[in-house]
Amino acid sequence: MNIAVIFAGGVGRRMKTSGLPKQFIKIFNVPIIVHTINNFQNNSAIDKIVVVMLEQYIPYMQTLVNQYHLDKVVSIVKGGQTGQESIYNGLKEAKRISLNKEAIVLIHDGVRPFIEDDLIKRNIESVTVYKSAISAVPCRETIVTVNNDLNVENITNRATSWIARAPQSFYLDDILNAHEQAKTDGLATFIDSCTLMKHYNHTIHLVETCPENIKATTPDDVIYLKSLMEMKDNVQILGVDFKEYRKLLK
């Protein structure tokens, strides 16, 4: 069984919207989170979807699920005080709906809508071989670490540097056990599942994703995603595969 856990528990302060959280911002009159979920809804390898949501927006999310016929969404659960706790809530629900069958879980950001069908399949394949899949892109620029005075202390080798994105995928029992161990150890600030699993010495295997697989964090990100979606639609209308079109732009 393959279950997607879509994490949409944030309020999006950096988006500077005065109304709904960023996951409900519309691109081409469709909320970002619906664009995101549709990628999993339409993927034949995904069996069920769990959405983790701010509690006060669960009824609205259920309305969207009904409106857009997202019938693979079987549960919408409330988030926690931190991203780590919210994902844990989603994983517990995934465990419940898995009926104790072996399951692979794909953890994904609700505001990361530009995810390709092939990436989902490669995540699942990677978990079956390596027990993990961290979607990532090669680093194109130099990464430096600095001290409090903004003096550079270390320059990372760009040739071996990647930027972790999502989905981040594991066997459900492995990632759930790691979360429960973190709770026992009083560790509650892991930035993502990759960091958590690495802390507990799990093998972390990368799966390359496309540069367009970004997270909508700022208004500029939304503009960029809208442009990408418009470009993809126009290319497909011309009968050209978007992957091949992207290669021409390199």
Domains, the chain, with CATH or none = 2-133+165-214 (3.90.550.10)
Nearest to 48 by CA among 23, 71, 79: 71
Cα separation, 142 vs 61, in Å, equals 40
Structure-block tokens of residue 108: 């994904």
Residue 14: its pLDDT value, please? 47
Q: Using pLDDT thresholds of 50, 70 and 90, give the confidence band for residue 233.
A: low
When mean pLDDT is compared over 16-20, 158-162, 164-168, the highest value belongs to 164-168
Q: Using pLDDT thresholds of 50, 70 and 90, give the confidence band for residue 112.
A: very high
Q: Using pLDDT thresholds of 50, 70 and 90, give the confidence band for residue 20.
A: confident
Global pTM reads 0.88
Q: Using pLDDT thresholds of 50, 70 and 90, give the confidence band for residue 145.
A: very high
Burial letters 6-30, b for 16+ CB under 10 A, else e = bbbbbebeebeeeeebbbbbebeee
Cα separation, 79 vs 86, in Å, equals 4
Q: What average pLDDT does range 127-145 have in this prediction? A: 94
- Helix 32-41, helix 219-237: angle, nearest 10: 50
